[in-house]
Amino acid sequence: MQFATITIIVEILFYLVLCAGVVVQLRKAYHWHDRLQAPIVILNIFFILFVMIPTFRAVVFNPNSGGLSEVPTLVPLIHGALGTIAQLLAIYCLLAGFKILPRKIGTLRYWMWATFVAWTATVMFGVGVYLIYYVNNSSASSAAVIGPDGEVISEHAETIIEEVPATAETPAEGEAVVDEHAEQAVVVPPAEGEAPTGEVVPTDELIAEHAEAPVDIEPPATEPAAVPTEELIAEVDETVVDEHGEVVVEVPAPGGSGAMIDDGDTEMDDLISEHAEMVIQVEEPQFTGQMGFVAWRQLTPANAGPGPRYEHAMEYSPANNQIYLFGGRDGSRIYNDIWALDIDTLTWRQLAVNSPTAPPARFSTVMIVDQNAENFYIATGHTQGNQNLGDVWRLNLSTETWEDLTATAGPGPVARYGGPGGNFGDNLVLTHGFGDTRYDDTWRFNTTTDQWENITPPGQVPLKRCLFAATAAAGTSLIIHGGCAAPFGDCFLDDTWILDMPSNTWRQVASDVKPVGRQYHTIVPAISSQGLVKVILFGGQDASRTARNDTWILDVDSGAWTLVDPQGAPSARYNHAAVWIPGYGMVIYGGRNDNGPLGELWLGDL
């Protein structure tokens, strides 16, 4: 009887936490959902040990003592079959989620619901078995026990897990009976850093244990160790796969250059936020005053431009002193328009409005402008219908006509987005990003041959990730920072890596003091008066899903990050775009915050 009580407690706890995970997922509280993964996995292990194994032992061996042996063989057989179906479905979904097994995102969602239904049937059947064979007085083993005082003592005391205190008046026999039904402690292995308590944890408390508990970290901040993939896979529950379900967005077909395409409730940002880690509140260093960043100021263009948007691409051309902006979205539409901002006059002009063809509208794309401002290139991105793009297009800036180079460009990167890059010798370079999974490869589109080239360096490469910041520095280095690596590692990474193009090798920048982990931010290169390469970082979204407006400068040679505090900083934002203009400063445009998309133009003066 004791063992039967333990099994029913394990079943109920496991199911309640699983339900809590489903509820928070449906409410899109993905950071809560991630906190529930560990207890779900732990309770699933207990389910196997205390429910599945004894069930099959009862079927095969029909032992005469303890557990489920009091139940007819057919009953545990049915229970075991239901549990097996649920486990197999869960294993399939988990393996399919990691693409170890083939899957389609759209149909995988229905497999996930089938798994949940199977778990529901398993637990409900188990509860029914417990009530019928262990609680019902008609059961042969459910006879009432009469205490010495003549009071009937039920052999099946409340299973609300309330321990019945023994009193001086309680006869010894009564104590033995009541104690049999006292709280059955289920020891759940504690999360890392927590002391084991050995106490039964009700569902609400269990959820609370995985809330976003602030963790104060004294500087210098250090980079967390990467989680090995094998260990991460072991921690991921089958329900994580459904977070990457297909997002179907109804959008009218593009109508040529400048067409505005409705993406409905596109959820690209939610697909990644679902992997948010625990909130880490970092005590950041104070302004040192050593880097010479003076102030931010808002610029007012002479005419109307692209309007509020985010996840657009932006590049500066020193050949004609213009900033080029392409695509992006505003929450209801996706764009494929291209604009040029003349820095001398601060006037916007839309380009290619009469081009006979145009690339599909998109956001989170990679773009470059060649050094003579003759051609403009874009590659990859994300568009309506949750479609990842792997194409490459060229805009002739003299004729303002688009040309699709995809068909003759040879094998290229897998369709993706969220992986920025840069301009190296007038060649478009992109790295990492995500589509069906996260990537860590690096590609170059050679604009001389119009061919893709896989230039993934041998040896160590940065963790697979997306939604990071990247910039080309001095034409020789691609620098990346932060982003989201889930499920291969943390979201809101705080690491910095440099790809040295001449040697084609990655190296990590080690810095005790550095910006808090984030995604959707920007970095731009700057050259100091002494010729030292600097990288300026602004904004982004941190692990609490809070927009930021802090400014940091990285000395690439020393690897040291410095927090600066220029006056008049723009409001906190993420998903903005930024460029560096020599002798002028850092220019940012657009982005979004809790109030929606932004259409402001800002300059960070040096």
The CATH superfamily assigned to 256-605 is Kelch-type beta propeller (2.120.10.80)
Write the DSSP string, 519-570: ES-EEEEEE-TTS-EEEEEEEEEETTS-EEEEEEEEETTTTEEEEE--BTPP
Which of 599 and 175 is assigned the larger pLDDT?
Answer: 599
What pLDDT does residue 279 have? 36
pLDDT of residue 133: 66
Read off the pLDDT of each residue in 272-280 and give the average, rounded to a whole number.
40
For 98-132, the pLDDT digits (tens) are 667 665 555 556 667 777 787 788 788 777 777 77
CA end-to-end span of the chain, whole Å?
76
What is the C-alpha to C-alpha distance for residues 47 and 66, in angstroms, rounded to an integer? 17
Cα torsion at 368, 369, 375, 379 (round to 10°)? 10
Across 38-47, 109-118, 512-521, 560-569, the highest mean pLDDT is recorded for 512-521
Residue 452 backbone phi and psi in degrees, to 5: -80, 145
Query: Quick check: 5 pLDDT over 60?
Result: yes
In this predicted model, what pLDDT tens digit does every residue of 360-402 receive, in sequence order?
A: 999 999 999 999 999 999 999 999 988 999 999 999 999 999 9
Residue 61: the pLDDT is 52
pLDDT at 50: 67
> Which tokens sit at 106?
């759209």
pLDDT at 468: 97
Start-end of H helices in 98-190: 105-130, 172-180
Residue 74's pLDDT band, with cuts at 50, 70 and 90, is confident
Quote the pLDDT of residue 22: 73
Sequence ranges of the domains in the chain: 2-209, 256-605
E strand intervals along 278-420: 280-282, 295-299, 313-317, 322-326, 333-335, 338-342, 347-351, 366-369, 375-383, 387-396, 401-404
pLDDT at 605: 81
| Residue 201: per-residue pLDDT | 36
pLDDT at 73 exceeding the cut of 50: yes
- Say yes or no to pLDDT of 323 above 80: yes
Q: Would you place residue 155 in the very low, low, confident or very high pLDDT band (cuts 50, 70, 90)? A: very low
Residue 566 structure tokens: 């220029």
pLDDT (tens digit per residue) in 198-234: 333 333 433 333 333 343 434 444 344 443 334 333 3
Burial annotation 561-572 (CB, 10 A radius, 16+ → b, else e): bbbbebeebbeb
| pLDDT exceeds 90 at position 14 | no
Q: What is the mean pLDDT of the chain?
A: 74
Q: How far apart are CA 81 and CA 60, in angstroms?
A: 13
Give residue 350's pLDDT.
98
Q: What percent of the chain has pLDDT over 70?
A: 63
Which region among 22-31, 68-77, 90-99, 161-170 has the lowest average model confidence (pLDDT)? 161-170
pLDDT in tens, 458-489: 999 999 999 999 999 877 899 999 999 998 98
Q: b or e along 26-65 (b: 16 or more beta carbons within 10 Å of the residue's beta carbon)? A: eeeebbbbbbbbbbbebbbebbeebbbebbbbbbeeeeee
Can you give the pLDDT at residue 112?
73
* pLDDT per residue as tens digits for the range 325-334: 999 999 999 9
pLDDT band at 1 (very low <50, low <70, confident <90, very high): low
